[in-house]
Amino acid sequence: MLNFDNNATTPVAPEVLEELIRVTRDIHGNSSSGHSIGVAAGDLLENCRKRVAKVLNAKLPSEIVFTSGGTESDNAAIRGCAWAMKDAGRGNHIITCAIEHRAVLAPCEWLAKHGYEVTVLGVDKNGRISLDEFKKALRPQTILVSVMLANNEIGTVQPIEQLGALARTHGFILHTDAVQVAGKLPIDVQALGVHALSLSAHKFYGPKGVGILYLRDNTPYTPFMLGGTHEYNKRAGTVAVPQIAAMTTALELVEKKRQSRGAEVKRLRDLLVQLTLKDVPGTHVNGDLNLCTPNTASLRFDGLYGGHLLRKLDDEGVLASAGSACMWEQTKPSHVLTALGLTDAEGGSTLRFSLGFDNTEDQVRELVVKLARLVPEIRKAPPQAIRPPKERVATH
């Protein structure tokens, strides 16, 4: 199996799986319990918080909130900070971006129905927001800005550090969805200037169902999950210590790999694009490879529907994506590709290839050989010759 769909999810690293099993077996107490087993779980939890804070360059371990994943982290940051700021009389205006993940756009849309004003910034052909347009959108009532650090479909990296500087002068809360960044780019919350940042373990070789919300100390926040006093009163619910321990191991591991192998992943991504453009006529790059995460390539192929090519690749043991894994069932091009100004035909002919640390040059060359054979075949094939998609239940 050739896995070129690492932006959708990553395999759990062996070291991470070992830690998950070890903690599940040996430290099974409730971290809120007062007996020895509970104290051991609580001590491990706080150790994980310190280790995560170190990787992210957070000032305090208490700024790390453990969640169920990126979607919860995004919802908690957006709704929790917006509620607190509005309740404090600071305003009701939110700014976000047209190519955000649905985990950001959906809560913004929900807030717009409940007394908030939301501005959705457009992007240029490479998926970047304009700082000039952003400044024009700012109001005295602006309380929250949520702009992703890197896009999941085309990899575009946004100017978050510049937004962080504006947050300091204008007094709004800045949240960034960094789910696609761990292991690809450095994540330094001080340098970025963010108040809140979201991560999801399964994107960086950790288990599914666990994530991180960085929430800067003293940031106005109303808890999104209500109940007990867990996570420093920021997120109620019995804490998933084994998953958190595994995620912490994964985050440390992927940061080391980024430093040692990140340049190689970028070289392989660039080779993939170079060879495909050469060997498969009618191929185009969406976005700018110099402005995106080093592992991601969004390619469109003239004269075919990307879903057909995706299924042909699947038949030959190649994993890729037609867009976000969360929106695979949509028949129209994704909102991300549409926001770039692509037509339905151009967006519909797009596939995303996202590399991981396990990919090799031989795999890249094998993929391009398959593309060079399959793309002309699909272009010539009558529509009825294409195998229909399998029916599946869509999940987020």
Residue 195, domain CATH: 3.40.640.10
Backbone CA torsion sign across 332, 338, 342, 343: positive
Last residue of a domain, one of 205, 228, 253: 253
Active site residue: 48, 81, 292, 326, which one?
Answer: 326
Residues 79, 157: one domain? Answer: yes
Domain membership of residue 8 (yes or no) is no
Three-state secondary structure of the chain? CEECECCCCCCCCHHHHHHHHHHHHHCCCCCCCCCHHHHHHHHHHHHHHHHHHHHHCCCCHHHEEEECCHHHHHHHHHHHHHHHHHHCCCCCEEEEECCCCHHHHHHHHHHHCCCCEEEEECCCCCCCCCHHHHHHHCCCCEEEEECCCECCCCCEECCHHHHHHHHHHHCCEEEEECCCCCCCCCCCHHHHCCCEEEEEHHHHCCCCCCEEEEECCCCCCCCCCCCCCHHHHCCCCCCCHHHHHHHHHHHHHHHHHHHHHHHHHHHHHHHHHHHHHHHCCCEEECCCHHHECCCEEEEEECCCCHHHHHHHHHHCCEECECCCHHHCCCCCCCHHHHHCCCCHHHHHCEEEEECCCCCCHHHHHHHHHHHHHHHHHHHHCCHHHCCCCCCCCCCC
Residues 309, 376: one domain? Answer: yes
**Residues 229-242 pLDDT 10s:** 899 889 999 999 99
**pLDDT on residue 233:** 86
- Assign residue 302 the CATH number of its domain: 3.90.1150.10
Residues 179, 59: one domain? Answer: yes
pTM given for the model? 0.94
Q: Residue 333 above 70 pLDDT?
A: yes
Domain membership of residue 375 (yes or no) is yes
Q: Residue 329 above 70 pLDDT?
A: no
Residues 203, 80: one domain? Answer: yes
Q: Which two tokens stand for residue 59?
A: 């000032």
- Number of domains into which the chain is organized: 2
**Residues 335-378 pLDDT 10s:** 999 999 999 999 999 999 999 999 999 999 999 999 999 999 99
Residues 160, 71: one domain? Answer: yes
Average pLDDT over residues 42-47: 95
Domain membership of residue 243 (yes or no) is yes
Domain membership of residue 350 (yes or no) is yes
Residues 292, 269: one domain? Answer: yes
Domain membership of residue 2 (yes or no) is no
Domain membership of residue 265 (yes or no) is yes
- How would you class 295 by CB atoms within 10 Å of its CB: exposed for 0-12, middle for 13-18, buried for 19 or more? buried
Average pLDDT over residues 10-30: 95
Residues 230, 100: one domain? Answer: yes
Residues 266, 366: one domain? Answer: yes
Domain membership of residue 131 (yes or no) is yes
Q: Residue 326 above 80 pLDDT?
A: no
Residues 273, 306: one domain? Answer: yes
Is-catalytic flag, 326?
yes
Instruction: Look up the domain containing 149 and give its range.
Output: 14-253
Domain membership of residue 154 (yes or no) is yes
Q: Residue 228 above 90 pLDDT?
A: no
Residues 202, 156: one domain? Answer: yes
Last residue of a domain, one of 253, 274, 306: 253
Last residue of a domain, one of 236, 253, 270: 253
